């Protein structure tokens, strides 16, 4: 009887696995479809330069307009795209689309694009970037690639070599989600990132922990000594902004300044949020 139940349990498990495998298979088919029919699109979130008092860049954030399920956020489909390799053509599309859109903006406004580890390790990445720059006419230094620390875990030497060859194309490189992964200071010394993006988890803690403020201070001090900019991610209220400014953070990004917006809203936002140096005319939504 015990044996019988065990087999039943196993069959139940098998059925559940089948359902999960099938769900993933269907999603993979849907994702192929989405690429083919142009159901992927980009939203753009501004990065605000605190000392200049103006928007310095927009980060391209991928969305999937699913015919039945509505808008799907990247967290729900990028892992699958990475497992299946679909992130390579999707990521190439993101780079081309982002460059195409950004070339119409003022020269001082950059476009930041997230590059998945799978895409980074693909040998075709440089060619994709060169083609996107050539097609759009965007100056290379206006394209900023965001990569994550996880790339340094497996093969730091190969990662460094690839970073240097990307840098030789003239593009900028930012370290995204800093402090969440395999945080070692050695690779900050080995590669001159243009920017460090401090992960949102540190910003969330700012108002209730002195430790978080000390961490921000040490990151901005280190970054400045290494000639790197800093962007605080996920800034949601004035209290966080005040601390970040006081601790020497150079840029902010977050719902307090602006949520990700559609391409047609960008020009209006840029026009409304330019201010003088001392007093950036922020028109924020306080999320606290």
Residues in the site for ligand C2E, rule: CB under 6 A?
Answer: 45, 60-62, 73-75, 78, 91, 94, 114, 116, 146, 176-177, 233-236, 253-255, 260
Residue 138 or residue 232: which is nearer to Mg ion going by CB? 232
Looking from the CA of 159 toward its CB, the CA atoms found within 13 Å total: 22
- Residue 144 within binding range of Mg ion, rule CB under 5 A: no
Q: Choosing among Mg ion, ligand C2E, none, which partner's interface includes residue 280 (Cβ < 5 to 8 Å by kind)?
A: none
- Residue 45 within binding range of Mg ion, rule CB under 5 A: no
The bridge status of strand 251-252 relative to strand 195-198 is unpaired
Residue 114 or residue 237: which is nearer to Mg ion going by CB? 114
Strand partners, 64: 40, 72
d(CA 74, CA 67) in angstroms, rounded, equals 16
d(CA 158, CA 172) in angstroms, rounded, equals 18
Q: Which stretch binds Mg ion (CB under 5 A): 7-15, 72-80, 195-203, 280-288?
A: 195-203
With tokens 């005319």, the residue in question is 281
**What are φ and ψ of residue 233, in 5° steps?**
-90, 145
Can you say whether residue 147 is alpha, beta or left, with left for phi > 0 and alpha for psi between -120 and 50 degrees? beta
d(CA 107, CA 172) in angstroms, rounded, equals 15
Q: Choosing among ligand C2E, Mg ion, none, which partner's interface includes residue 260 (Cβ < 5 to 8 Å by kind)?
A: ligand C2E
Residue 78 or residue 133: which is nearer to ligand C2E going by CB? 78
Cβ-based neighbour number of residue 16 at 10 Å = 10
Q: Choosing among ligand C2E, Mg ion, none, which partner's interface includes residue 74 (Cβ < 5 to 8 Å by kind)?
A: ligand C2E
**What are φ and ψ of residue 78, in 5° steps?**
-70, -40
**Cβ at position 47, least distance to ligand C2E in Å:** 10
Q: Which stretch binds Mg ion (CB under 5 A): 35-43, 68-76, 93-101, 225-233?
A: 225-233
Among 30, 149, 177, 229, binds Mg ion (CB under 5 A): 177
Q: Which of residues 255-284 bind Mg ion (CB under 5 A)?
A: none
Closest Cα to residue 204, out of 196, 213, 195? 213
- Residue 176 within binding range of Mg ion, rule CB under 5 A: yes
Q: Which stretch binds Mg ion (CB under 5 A): 13-21, 68-76, 189-197, 212-220?
A: 189-197
Closest Cα to residue 252, out of 105, 44, 54? 54
Q: Choosing among Mg ion, ligand C2E, none, which partner's interface includes residue 73 (Cβ < 5 to 8 Å by kind)?
A: ligand C2E
Q: Choosing among Mg ion, ligand C2E, none, which partner's interface includes residue 31 (Cβ < 5 to 8 Å by kind)?
A: none
- Residue 253 within binding range of Mg ion, rule CB under 5 A: no
Q: Which stretch binds Mg ion (CB under 5 A): 16-24, 69-77, 142-150, 254-262?
A: 142-150
**Cβ at position 222, least distance to ligand C2E in Å:** 20
Residue 176 or residue 229: which is nearer to ligand C2E going by CB? 176
Q: Which of residues 61-120 bind Mg ion (CB under 5 A)?
A: 114
- Sign of the CA dihedral running 182, 188, 190, 191: positive
d(CA 28, CA 24) in angstroms, rounded, equals 6
Residues 6+ apart with CB under 8 A from 50: 244, 245, 249, 250, 251, 252, 280
| Interaction site with Mg ion (CB under 5 A) | 114, 146, 176-177, 197, 233
């Amino acid at each position: 009887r015990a044996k019988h139940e065990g087999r039943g349990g196993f069959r139940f498990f098998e059925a559940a696995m089948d359902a999960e495998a099938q769900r993933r298979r269907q999603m993979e088919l849907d994702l192929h479809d989405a690429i083919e029919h142009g159901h992927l699109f980009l939203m753009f979130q501004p990065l605000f330069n605190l000392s200049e008092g103006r928007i310095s860049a927009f980060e391209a954030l991928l969305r999937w307009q699913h015919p039945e399920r509505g808008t799907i956020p990247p967290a729900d489909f990028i892992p699958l795209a990475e497992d299946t390799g679909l992130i390579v053509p999707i990521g190439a599309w993101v780079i081309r689309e982002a460059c195409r859109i950004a070339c119409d903006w003022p020269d001082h406004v950059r476009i930041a694009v997230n590059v998945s580890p799978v895409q980074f390790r693909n040998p075709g990445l440089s060619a994709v970037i060169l083609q996107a720059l050539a097609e759009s006419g965007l100056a290379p230094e206006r394209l900023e690639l965001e990569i994550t620390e996880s790339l340094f875990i497996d093969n730091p030497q190969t990662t460094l070599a690839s970073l240097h060859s990307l840098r030789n194309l003239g593009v900028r490189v930012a370290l995204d989600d800093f402090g969440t992964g395999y945080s070692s200071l050695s690779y900050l010394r080995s590669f001159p990132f243009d920017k460090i993006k401090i992960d949102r988890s540190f910003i969330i803690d700012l108002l209730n922990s002195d430790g978080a403020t000390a961490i921000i201070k040490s990151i901005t001090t280190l970054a400045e000594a290494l000639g790197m900019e800093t962007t605080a991610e996920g800034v949601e209220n004035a209290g966080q902004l005040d601390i970040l400014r006081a601790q020497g953070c150079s840029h902010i990004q977050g719902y307090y300044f602006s949520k990700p917006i559609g391409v047609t809203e960008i020009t209006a936002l840029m026009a409304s949020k330019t201010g003088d140096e001392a007093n950036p005319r922020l028109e924020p939504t306080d999320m606290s």
